[in-house]
Amino acid sequence: MSESGYRDYFKVLGVERNANSNDIKRAFRELARKYHPDVNPGDSTAEERFKEVNEAYEVLSDPEKRRRYEQFGQYWKQTGSSDGFDIDFGRYGNFDEFINDLLGRFTGSRGVSGFSGASGFPRSSSDSPLNLDAEINLKVSFAEAFHGTERLLAVNEERVQVSIPGGVKKGSKLRLKGKGNLQPGTGRRGDLYLKLDVQSHSVWRLDGDQLSADLPVSLDELALGGTVTAMTPDGEAELSIPAGTPPGRSLRLKGKGWPLTNGRGDLILTVKIQLPNEWSTEELRLLGELKRVRRHDLRKSWIEEARL
């Protein structure tokens, strides 16, 4: 503002006199971007307009300066001290650095440029360094975690290709160097950490490094034993069931489990009796014959032990 005249800062920013801080900040961002010297090289009119916009924002964004301005009009500076206004455009790498630094200067809080979905970060102070690292959660399917996959992520305004190796687990972290938060005015950039959230599967279970599942079997397969076709994450495999295997016993397939740094773990399959929804006439006849010839009372010892 000139020393001899009065400038309506509300009109400069194009806001009503009852505009709140958010309205003022929004108007400032739009006008500052429009008239910034980098956008209008060599345009002296745009540069003067840019300085007017910054001057207006400096006053209206400061509650005390705004109070004095609204109360005393063109004489508001005479009622208190002014910090002055000076901009060194050369110290900023791009417009966003300038805007974030300027907003921090006027509002009294210098932070980092935000990363969508990131957690909070400590602010800089005289005795602690600014932490520019960021962390976000990334969901991946069970199959993606097992086989590995590629993801294209939107990081701030940048598209980043991420390679997720096979064998990651829930809580695993991947580091993207130099893709974190940006410190205004310096160009310093932190790292971005992706915390993986592996989705559960209807068949496979992962406990630590151990991959396991239930294996449906029939009554005769447990009693008589034999070779059955089982499923593994790599496809079908043959599994031998010893005769007389009790329900609930676990069988191991070596090298068919979860990918590890030194190879593959084992796959544990727990046998579970699967009864058919319907029995054929012949099956029912044979079950009747089994009932007739059965020699052992399977519940006798259980009844004795359960008696109180």
Report pLDDT digits (tens) over 41-69: 888 898 889 889 988 998 899 888 888 77
In order of 43, 122, 169, the CA distances from 118 in angstroms are 39, 13, 21
154 beta partners:
159
Q: Name 75's Cβ contacts closer than 8 Å, sequence gap at least 6.
A: none
Q: Are 165 and 223 in contact (CB under 8 A)?
A: no
Q: What is the pLDDT of residue 121?
A: 39
For residue 234, is pLDDT > 80?
Answer: yes
Average pLDDT over residues 56-83: 72
Give, in order, the Cα–Cα distances in Å from 101 to each of 97, 134, 144, 300: 6, 19, 41, 82
**Whether the predicted pLDDT of 142 surpasses 50:** yes
Answer with the residue of higher pLDDT: 187 or 144.
144
List the one residue out of 50, 51, 61, 49 whose CA is nearest residue 103: 61
Confidence class of residue 207 from pLDDT cuts 50, 70 and 90? very high
Question: What φ, ψ does residue 25 adopt, rounded to 5°?
Answer: -65, -40
Domains in the chain with CATH codes = 9-107 (1.10.287.110), 134-198 (2.60.260.20), 201-278 (2.60.260.20)
d(CA 213, CA 268): 7
Banded model confidence at residue 257, pLDDT cuts 50, 70, 90: very high
More confident residue, 108 or 42: 42
Overall average pLDDT of the 66-91 stretch? 58
Q: What's the distance, Cα to Cα, between the start and end of the chain in Å?
A: 96
